[in-house]
Chain A
């Protein structure tokens, strides 16, 4: 996925919305390259159960680095319909391919209103520049 075409939460998760075969809107969610760089030295990811309902802004998992643990926040509301189980064995994918093989969960949208609160690429870049490294 091209990072320029994604939407971003202020908490550094990215979102890509697509339709599945049944026409349902599905959001693929990951964390940005900026976030992975800021965390560094990742050792563990806690993924949610498939079937769990999440609300926008709610923690759905956590990622642990040598230095600290950080929550993963859902940028949208809906049902977790898939998780990227390969991350538990190959956490490097978060770093090596954050917008592809490093995706974290897929969420079937129950309500699209949260999408309005997300940033486009340009606005997200501006936020990262402000936070600096």
Chain B
């Protein structure tokens, strides 16, 4: 059967290096090469290389683009300094989360300012349509860069060390959540001090044509340090330990940012964006379930959809769970009744009929040593 899945420019490399390719949001992506745990531990201890080219990348330019973006996202993004990157949300008119995004304020080689929006792969068509239907003829040019570029996340304590040789600026000179256009492996690219693993590191966006050579150089440089390519499986265990929410699991259109513990990404005062008025009412709503996290003492792993109980009373549901390679025990995130959304509370999770003890803990589960 002919595959209808999209392939990243690194697809053949993954397949040739034992990558187990799975359908993720319409893309054929490596879930793992040999072992999720090995790839996870390599990222925590040294460096992991992740092909994240499936993430949507939309460039916004034109004199109206900053004002336009500012009235599309939950957080103030007007007036960001060039080089600054901000995590924000896009919500519908009910305040439900359409996507969580990164907004980059950048300058191109000629010094012209523009913005870049990085969105979840599964939400790219939805967000593109949402932007198109809201720009009201303002001077905004939208361009989808997803298919013409490759995005590589280099994550872990040795990440900057292996990237340094291939970029024209010192990655250590960038502060966290800052980025810049620069030459990457001899081609015009972008480096940012961002990631989704809880580690230090950076993400590179480079032209599709030259990206395989860069990836191979990074893999070669990573190997002697104990680093390696890592798949979406490790990306998931890493982000879960760092308690970062994942769209389609912790976030969806029925959940508002306050429930998801993302109030830091919402500015309501003096602002206008879709969902702003709904969110003003929802801010103090104390009846909706809230996101929390659990650690379990046993070995059985809570999975998405499992019921959370106190005694025999269902009080919530798991949205993500795994066996934490770093902590050596099962962890999970999910939503519970707001009065119970505190650390140090004893719950049980119904793991296929067996009620396993689970204790709520302060998030994140893992914080990297400073």
Q: How far is the CA of A32 from the CA of B78 in the complex (A)?
A: 58
State the Cβ distance, A124 to closest chain B Cβ, in Å: 21
Q: How far is the CA of A67 from the CA of B36 in the complex (A)?
A: 8
Please judge, given known A-B contacts A67-B31, A67-B233, whether A44 and B36 are in contact too, CB under 8 Å.
Answer: no
* Residue among A43, A44, A64, A68 with max Cβ neighbours from chain B (10 Å): A43
Contact indicator B325/A133 (Cβ below 8 Å): no
Per-residue CB contact flags for chain A residues 60-97 toward chain B (1 = under 8 Å, else 0) read 00101111110000000000000000000000000000
Contact indicator A40/B35 (Cβ below 8 Å): yes
Per-residue CB contact flags for chain A residues 22-46 toward chain B (1 = under 8 Å, else 0) read 0000000000000000001101101
List the B side residues contacting A65 at CB < 8 Å: 323
List the B side residues contacting A64 at CB < 8 Å: 299-301, 323
The answer to whether the Cβ of B286 comes within 8 Å of any Cβ in the partner chain is: no
8 A/B residue pairs, CB under 8 Å, sorted by A: A40-B34, A41-B35, A43-B323, A64-B299, A66-B237, A67-B233, A69-B301, A69-B303
Chain B residues with a Cβ closer than 8 Å to the other chain, count: 18
Give the B-binding residues of A (Cβ under 8 A).
Answer: 40-41, 43-44, 46, 62, 64-69, 133
Contact indicator B36/A41 (Cβ below 8 Å): yes
List the B side residues contacting A41 at CB < 8 Å: 35-37, 323
Contact indicator A40/B299 (Cβ below 8 Å): no
The answer to whether the Cβ of B322 comes within 8 Å of any Cβ in the partner chain is: yes
State the Cβ distance, A88 to closest chain B Cβ, in Å: 8
Minimal Cβ-Cβ distance residue in A for B299: A44
Contact indicator B301/A44 (Cβ below 8 Å): yes
Contact indicator A40/B36 (Cβ below 8 Å): yes
What are the 8 A-B residue pairs with the smallest beta carbon separation, nearest first? A44-B299, A43-B323, A41-B37, A66-B323, A41-B36, A66-B36, A40-B35, A64-B301
Contact indicator A66/B299 (Cβ below 8 Å): no
Q: How far is the CA of A65 from the CA of B233 in the complex (A)?
A: 11
Minimal Cβ-Cβ distance residue in B for A46: B300
The answer to whether the Cβ of B228 comes within 8 Å of any Cβ in the partner chain is: no
State the Cβ distance, B1 to closest chain A Cβ, in Å: 13
List the B side residues contacting A62 at CB < 8 Å: 352
State the Cβ distance, B296 to closest chain A Cβ, in Å: 11
State the Cβ distance, B109 to closest chain A Cβ, in Å: 43
Q: Which of B24-45 contact A (CB under 8 A)?
A: 31-32, 34-37
List the B side residues contacting A66 at CB < 8 Å: 36-37, 233, 237, 301, 322-323, 325
Q: How far is the CA of A66 from the CA of B40 in the complex (A)?
A: 11
The answer to whether the Cβ of B20 comes within 8 Å of any Cβ in the partner chain is: yes
Contact indicator A40/B301 (Cβ below 8 Å): no
State the Cβ distance, A57 to closest chain B Cβ, in Å: 19
List the A side residues contacting B32 at CB < 8 Å: 40, 67
Q: How far is the CA of A92 from the CA of B282 in the complex (A)?
A: 50
Contact indicator A44/B300 (Cβ below 8 Å): yes
Please judge, given known A-B contacts A66-B237, A66-B323, A133-B20, whether A43 and B35 are in contact too, CB under 8 Å.
Answer: no
Per-residue CB contact flags for chain B residues 267-309 toward chain A (1 = under 8 Å, else 0) read 0000000000000000000000000000000011101000000
Q: How far is the CA of A44 from the CA of B322 in the complex (A)?
A: 12
Minimal Cβ-Cβ distance residue in B for A62: B352
State the Cβ distance, B235 to closest chain A Cβ, in Å: 12
State the Cβ distance, B15 to closest chain A Cβ, in Å: 11
State the Cβ distance, A21 to closest chain B Cβ, in Å: 35
State the Cβ distance, B229 to closest chain A Cβ, in Å: 15
List the A side residues contacting B18 at CB < 8 Å: 133
Please judge, given known A-B contacts A66-B322, A66-B325, whether A43 and B299 are in contact too, CB under 8 Å.
Answer: yes
Minimal Cβ-Cβ distance residue in A for B236: A67
State the Cβ distance, B35 to closest chain A Cβ, in Å: 5
List the A side residues contacting B237 at CB < 8 Å: 66
List the A side residues contacting B300 at CB < 8 Å: 44, 46, 64
